[in-house]
Amino acid sequence: MTQDKMKTVNQQGWELIFICWLIAMAALFGSLFFSEVMGLKPCVLCWWQRIFIYPLAVLFLVGLFPQEQKMDRSVVRYTLPLAVIGLGFAIYHYLVYSGFIPESLQPCSKDLSCAEINLELMGFVTIPMLSIFAYSAIIVLLLIYRKRSYQ
């Protein structure tokens, strides 16, 4: 690829999709660390959030290597819905966590409560908070990317 074309690809927002991919990868490895290394069993709502973030790690990776020499605009079409639905679950989980939604209204089994707080990083950062942050950041970056690519 010539220097010139490289520049256009970059202008089209390769780095935005790259950051999205980084966030999805961090979420993937982070959640696996919590469950497989630290032994914190994921509750039902955690699973729903995993379902929507794991494919993003793959989709963004594919998006980073467009077939033509220009960025693939349809990345947004395929990833934004996943991120929005995931954010919905993350917010719901956060509300259950902080007690705005009573536990009995949500679908977790008794022995694996979604409302139980089993990790607080630096005293206040909980897992649903990390999830909300990851999904929101991805959504914002995708919106910026879309705006840029239609200019």
Binding residues for another protein (CB under 8 A)? 1, 6, 14, 18, 21-22, 25-26, 29, 32-33, 37-39, 61, 64-65
Query: For the chain, how long is the longest CA-to-CA vector?
Result: 60
Q: Which long-range contacts (CB under 8 A, 24 or more apart) does 9-14 make?
A: 9/66, 9/69, 9/70, 9/71, 11/148, 12/70, 12/71, 12/148, 12/149, 13/71, 13/144, 13/145, 13/148, 13/149, 14/64, 14/71
Closer residue to another protein in complex, CB, 98/118: 118
- Considering the complex, what minimum distance in angstroms separates the CB of residue 79 from another protein? 17
Q: Are 92 and 22 in contact (CB under 8 A)?
A: no
Closer residue to another protein in complex, CB, 37/122: 37
- Considering the complex, what minimum distance in angstroms separates the CB of residue 21 from another protein? 8
- Considering the complex, what minimum distance in angstroms separates the CB of residue 105 from another protein? 25
Closer residue to another protein in complex, CB, 22/140: 22
Closer residue to another protein in complex, CB, 60/89: 60
- SS3 of residue 95 by DSSP: helix
- Considering the complex, what minimum distance in angstroms separates the CB of residue 102 from another protein? 26
